[in-house]
Amino acid sequence: MADQPTSQPPKKLYIETVGCQMNVLDSELVVARLRDDGYELTDDIDQADAILYNTCSVRQHAEDKIYSALGRIKHLKKKKPGLSVGVLGCMAQKDQTQILRRAPHVDVVVGPGQLGRVPELLLKAKAESTPQLAVSLARTAGSRDHVTSSFDSYDADREPAVRPSPFQAYLRVMMGCDKFCTYCIVPSVRGPEQSRPPDSIVAEARLLAMQGVKEITLIGQTVNSYKHREPDGRTTRLSDLLARLHDIEGVVRIKFITNFPNDMTDDLLQAVRDLPKVSRYIHVPAQSGCDMILKRMKRMYTAAFYEDMLARLRETIPGSSVSSDFIVGFCGETEESFDKTVGLLERSRFKNSFIFKYSPRAGTKADGLFADDVAEEVKRRRNQVLLELQTRISLEDNRGFLGRDLEILVEGPSRSTTRKEGWDGPDQMTGRTHCDRIVVFSGPQSLTGLTARVKIENASAVTLFGRVADAQVTGPV
Ligand code: 5AD
Ligand code: SF4
């Protein structure tokens, strides 16, 4: 970190992050850069010299929340004219100057491919008293290489202080997406798919391990499509990358999210089975159980293909768990289509599912081609039906763990339990099993980052509850 001139107190940075793991990582990297520029983090928005929002465009609701937050801080800017306000990430890339029109008090608008420039742009906005806009090229603006080069790879600095936990970190292996599912804005705002060179991924993982990180989650929009070709023709796939990362001392658990059903190849499934540090948990979104809808979504598989993939996965990796995403109320989804999704969810026995109501996104294929013709109340009902079904399944499957001893990686104090008013019992800790199930148990905070064996005594749909069964709490999982 750069030395602070003694006469200047550090500037205070308030940053709010919404959306996916990519954004969590991007915020970490932006904070790392701004620390070098003399900023320190604050949780108190009223104290901030800079307020940044790292935004998401996947659904309208996420954007609405940012625009209302921007409205709420208008008065702060009046009170404190030196305050800098920034909109970063996917919404910045999507809405560009529209953000400045709707919120003229914003100083910088920076897309996900330009985040390395945030410190420079904050200074420039102030020096020139003019808002600064930095975005990447649109996908249609030129050749693939030209567009790709406008999305900066931004993975050099790491900033442990803003990680959700000191021993868990995200590691980007891919950027962008080329699948172009018709409902999805991501390929437009995150740019063309790029796989990072394996050597730089391994070097970054080593650095993370040296900083005390034990659990690394590899992230990419379709992480299992990872493929890197060397000039001599050698290719590294995700399975090869997992094997290389597995050798790093200090790393005890490796996860990867999120996966595309068509790219769930046998070599990857075998790597998960054979590499003990790799979590036996796979998030592989189905989106729908109806072929007509999957075709409209351009998912490039059928429901039967998805279910066969799931069967292959479960056969190859015993003790694994799978989770999924679903969109309800996509254009043209009839009751019959929805029933097929219900059937798929019922048969698939996911650990959990993330269920979303379709939200039309300007600029996507679906928005141009199809009418958003499922009424909001129908979307809401279908959402509820899937949620209830998934909750029943999760509860049934979690109850299957009652009485068993499970090895877990301890993540830290359980916030939900410790926050309970009047709670004066022993420390409640939380951790995850090898197949990513959340376990809450009584135990000292010193277990954080270690492994423990816990006997499961109770279960809800999302959490297993237990007590430490074995004091042997060190060593790799
Ligand atoms: N509307 C609703 N949900 C969406 N998702 C992506 N785009 C949309 C949209 N336009 C969901 C998908 C994806 C998850 C990250 O968000 O289920 O897997
Ligand atoms: Fe969006 Fe589909 Fe790419 Fe996932 S695979 S980011 S849903 S376009």
Going along the chain from its start, the domains and CATH numbers come out as: 11-149 (3.40.50.12160), 163-277 (3.30.750.210), 280-399 (3.30.750.200), 405-474 (2.40.50.140)
> What burial class does residue 89 get, using C-beta atoms within 10 Å of its C-beta: 0-12 exposed, 13-18 middle, 19+ buried?
buried
DSSP for residue 212: T
Contacts of 180 (CB under 8 A, 6+ apart): 187, 298, 365
Digit-coded pLDDT (tens) for 280-325? 999 999 999 999 999 999 999 999 999 999 999 999 999 999 999 9
Closest residue CA from atom 6 of ligand 1 = 184
Look at the block and give the residue holding tokens 């059903």.
261
370 lines ligand 2 (CB under 6 A): no
Look at the block and give the residue holding tokens 């991007």.
26
What backbone torsions phi and psi does residue 266 show, to the nearest 5 degrees? -60, -35
Torsion region of 38: left, alpha or beta (phi above 0 gives left; psi -120 to 50 gives alpha): left
Closest residue CA from atom 4 of ligand 2 = 221
Query: What does the pLDDT read at residue 149?
Result: 83
59 lines ligand 1 (CB under 6 A): yes
Residue ranges of the chain with pLDDT lower than 70?
1-7, 153-157, 417-425, 470-477
Ligand 1 center from residue 181 Cα (angstroms): 10
| Among 183, 283, 284, 365, residue to substitute to test ligand 1 (most atoms within 8 Å of Cβ) | 183
pTM across the whole model: 0.93
22 lines ligand 1 (CB under 6 A): no
Is 177 annotated among the ligand-binding residues? yes
| H or E element at residue 68 | helix 60-72
Is 290 annotated among the ligand-binding residues? no
> What burial class does residue 6 get, using C-beta atoms within 10 Å of its C-beta: 0-12 exposed, 13-18 middle, 19+ buried?
exposed
Query: What does the pLDDT read at residue 153?
Result: 67
How far from 308 is each of 181, 262, 285, CA to CA, in Å? 21, 11, 14
CB 334 within 8 A of CB 374: no
Query: What does the pLDDT read at residue 476?
Result: 41
Residue type, 265: T
Closest residue CA from atom 14 of ligand 1 = 325
Query: What does the pLDDT read at residue 440?
Result: 95
**Whose CA is closest to 156, among 7, 33, 242?**
33
Pull the structure tokens for residue 13.
């940075």
Helix ranges restricted to H, 164-237: 186-190, 198-210
Query: What does the pLDDT read at residue 477?
Result: 40
The bridge status of strand 438-442 relative to strand 235-237 is unpaired
Query: What does the pLDDT read at residue 387?
Result: 98
